[in-house]
């Protein structure tokens, strides 16, 4: 749907934001263009229309942003703020986002293609919750007071304690699947800990971060505490994560780029958190009601059109109920209404970009070439935009590319199993380890399986359920470190040991 004909569906604030054709980026409290003057086009994946342009940051802009973040970290009002002041600013920001929730949801829908209703409930709702949860930690950062012995200094007395100190300037590089939510998952703990930030949203979805920047200013964060640069990975992301004045990189995205970042980080001993790809199994045991399991499995893969790092992309069903469950998932897939995200009836929206559409379709083709059977979907849509029908494939085996590689689209592979011991091994037969779900009410079987699954999160009778208080991250090649929860806050803090001879 063309933007001109969708305008009546948008709030006045969204229209006003989109009418600013010349978006700028936020460096040191000022809205600025890229030093080169270059810009990138922002595309609505539902219509392939250019809806805005943003600055294309490069090395010089990265330099300005990192210097601003460094200055704000070392001097000025930010390091003097008390924890309660950081908490207050963060709570204010959460309130401001809440006040603009509908606008954020609409911007996210136009920029990413996702449903505005889902964006309101999930993306924006979680961003607000995470900020409030992380704001609470600012006043609860504490070290230890430890009785030391130092036996080689008989008679000496010491007072020893640890301090937790903000790690410094944080580079946040995020993907396009949950743009606002990913930004806040990382901004929240960084600001709570007292760090300063340079945030680079994905080049495909920069708009909600820029809107967030406006609210960060309104909330009263001092200049330079949060800098937001727009640009692509090669020209803006790479120089940012390699910058020697960056103390920590927090990244969510592909495993390939995550590895590049990890290698570069070690050169400067930059701390890093990497949340990377996944190939998460959905395991349905024989006692499960097939209808419930099918609804759960469909939700696990088709939510956000499969563009979810923990999407349940490999379905394993006990052979007793395999045919029933797979037929039901296929039926759900066939019946899902497809359309742009401003239509409340639409359940499957477009993929993020033409390259992503091509990539997903080439996986479907490779599956068919390698002998898989298409049970549902498999085709591009003839709508304008980057649509592919929700797809279910059976007759798969572990050597197929569709069973091994992250597809990041609405494509499910389904395989029967017989033996509980086999299933743990099959579920783990992937380089990834982000999430897994088990569907059963057999307590003993479920609890025997949980410790065997090599994944950062195991869900039981649900999938992709996230909460600000529960750490989220990967085993194996799904990453290092955790977002969310206290574990996330810890990763933005250094530990300083203090030993005082008294
Ligand atoms: P990507 O990893 O290239 O992009 C993620 C972010 O990293 C973007 O902000 C990008 O500008 C930045 N970036 C890219 N190259 C960089 C570099 N050399 N240095 C620093 N930053 C860099 O992911 P892309 O190309 O958008 O998607 C490719 C595949 O990655 C997807 O098909 C999917 O399999 C996976 N992916 C996983 C995500 C997750 O949530 N774990 C999110 C997005 C993509
Ligand atoms: Mg876009």
Task: Provide residues with CB under 6 Å of ligand 1.
Answer: 173-177, 200, 202-203, 232-233, 237-238, 241, 252-254, 257, 260-261, 275-277, 309, 356, 359, 406, 408
CA of 94 to the centre of ligand 1 (A): 27
pLDDT of 4 over the 80 cut? no
Is 318:286 a contact under the CB 8 Å cutoff? yes
Residue-level pLDDT at 107: 97
Residues facing residue 354 across a β-bridge: none
pLDDT band at 19 (very low <50, low <70, confident <90, very high): confident
Query: Options 1.10.357.10, 3.40.309.10, 3.40.50.720, 1.10.10.10; which CATH number does 281-467 get?
Result: 3.40.309.10
3-state secondary structure labels for all residues of 253-264: CCHHHHHHHHHH
Ligand 1 atom, smallest distance to 264 CA:
19
Write the pLDDT tens digit of every residue in 30-57.
Answer: 999 999 999 999 999 999 999 999 999 9
Is the pLDDT assigned to residue 3 strictly greater than 90? Answer: no
For the cut 70, the answer to whether the pLDDT of residue 1 exceeds it is no
Q: What is the mean pLDDT of residues 223-234?
A: 98
Is 275 among the catalytic positions? yes
From the list 195, 288, 309, 310, the catalytic residue is: 309
pLDDT at 421: 86
Contact 261, 248 (CB under 8 A): no
Instruction: Give 224's pLDDT tier (boundaries 50, 70, 90).
Output: very high
> Residue 140 C-alpha to ligand 1 middle, in angstroms?
33
Instruction: Give 429 Cα–ligand 1 centroid separation in angstroms.
Output: 24
CA distance 370 to 209: 41
Closest ligand to residue 42's CA: 2
pLDDT for res 247: 98
CA distances to 313, 329, 428 from 432, in Å: 12, 24, 8
Neighbours of 393 (CB within 10 A): 27
12-26, 167-181, 195-209, 288-302: least confidently modelled range: 12-26
Backbone angles phi, psi at 172, to 5 degrees: -115, 120
pTM of the complete model: 0.97
The single residue of 275, 288, 361, 406 carrying the catalytic annotation is: 275
* Domains in the chain: boundaries: 3-276+479-498, 281-467
Over 90: is that where the pLDDT of 411 sits?
A: yes
Per-residue confidence (pLDDT) for residue 381, from 0 to 100: 86
- What's the pLDDT band for 6 if we cut at 50, 70, 90? confident
Of all atoms in ligand 1, which is nearest to the CA of residue 258? 2
Partners of 391 in the beta sheet? 411
Nearest-ligand number for the alpha carbon of 46: 2
Are 326 and 317 in contact, with CB atoms under 8 Å apart?
yes
**Averaged over 176-182, what is the pLDDT?**
98
Q: Mean pLDDT over residues 478-500, rounded?
A: 98
Q: What is the per-residue pLDDT across 339-386, written as a single tens digit (0 to 9) for each?
A: 999 999 999 999 999 999 999 999 999 999 999 999 999 999 888 999
Query: Given pLDDT bands bounded at 50, 70 and 90, which one contains residue 311?
Result: very high
The residues placing their C-beta within 5 Å of ligand 2, an ion, are 43, 111, 204-205
The domain made up of 3-276+479-498 has a fold known as Aldehyde Dehydrogenase; Chain A, domain 1 (3.40.605)
Ligand 1 atom 22 nearest Cα: 233
pLDDT given at position 255:
96
Mean pLDDT of the chain: 97
Determine the Cα angle at 435 with ends 249 and 452, to 5°. 120
Closest CA to 308 of 471, 186, 181: 181
The per-residue pLDDT for range 122-160, each reduced to its tens digit, is 999 999 999 999 999 999 999 999 999 999 999 999 999
């Amino acid at each position: 749907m063309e933007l001109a004909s969708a305008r009546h569906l948008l709030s006045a604030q969204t229209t006003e934001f989109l009418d600013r054709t010349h978006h700028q980026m936020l460096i040191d409290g000022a809205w600025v263009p890229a030093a080169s003057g270059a810009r990138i086009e922002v595309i609505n994946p539902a219509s392939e229309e250019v809806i805005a342009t943003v600055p294309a940051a490069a090395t010089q802009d990265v330099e300005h942003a990192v210097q601003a973040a460094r200055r704000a970290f070392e001097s000025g009002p930010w390091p003097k703020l008390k924890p309660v002041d950081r908490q207050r600013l963060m709570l204010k920001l959460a309130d401001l986002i809440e006040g603009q929730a509908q606008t954020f949801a609409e911007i996210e829908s136009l920029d990413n293609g996702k449903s505005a209703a889902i964006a309101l409930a999930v993306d924006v709702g979680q961003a607000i919750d995470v900020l409030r949860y992380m704001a609470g930690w600012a006043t609860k950062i504490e070290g230890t007071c430890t009785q030391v012995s130092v036996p080689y200094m008989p008679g000496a007395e010491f007072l020893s304690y640890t301090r937790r100190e903000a790690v410094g300037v944080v580079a946040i590089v995020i993907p396009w699947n949950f743009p606002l939510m990913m930004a806040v998952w990382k901004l929240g703990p960084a600001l709570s800990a007292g760090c300063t930030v340079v945030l680079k949203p994905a080049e495909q979805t920069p708009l909600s971060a820029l809107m967030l920047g406006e609210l960060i200013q309104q909330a009263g964060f001092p200049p330079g505490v949060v800098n937001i640069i727009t640009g692509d990975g090669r020209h803006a992301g790479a120089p940012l994560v390699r910058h020697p004045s960056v103390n920590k990189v927090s990244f969510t995205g592909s495993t390939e780029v995550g590895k590049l970042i990890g290698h570069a980080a070690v050169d400067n001993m930059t701390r890093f958190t990497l949340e990377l790809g996944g190939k998460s199994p959905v395991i349905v045991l024989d006692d499960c009601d097939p209808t419930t399991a099918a609804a759960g499995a469909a939700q696990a893969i088709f939510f956000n059109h499969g563009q979810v790092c923990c999407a349940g992309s490999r379905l394993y069903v006990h052979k007793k109920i395999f045919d029933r469950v797979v037929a039901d998932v296929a039926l759900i897939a066939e019946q899902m209404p497809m359309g742009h995200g401003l239509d409340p009836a639409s359940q499957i929206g477009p993929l993020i970009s033409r390259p992503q559409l091509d990539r997903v379709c080439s996986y479907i083709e490779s599956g068919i070439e390698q002998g898989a059977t298409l049970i549902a979907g498999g085709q591009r849509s003839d709508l304008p935009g980057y649509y592919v029908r929700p797809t279910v494939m059976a007759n798969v085996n572990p050597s197929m590319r569709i069973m091994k590689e992250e597809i990041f689209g609405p494509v499910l592979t389904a395989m029967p199993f017989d033996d509980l011991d086999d299933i743990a091994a099959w579920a783990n037969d992937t380089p990834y380890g982000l999430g897994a779900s088990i569907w059963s009410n057999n307590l003993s079987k479920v609890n025997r399986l949980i410790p065997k699954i090599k994944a950062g999160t195991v869900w039981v009778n649900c999938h992709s359920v996230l909460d600000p208080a529960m750490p989220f991250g990967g085993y194996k090649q799904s990453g290092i470190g955790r977002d969310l929860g206290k574990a996330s806050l810890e990763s933005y803090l250094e530990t300083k040991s203090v030993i005082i001879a008294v």
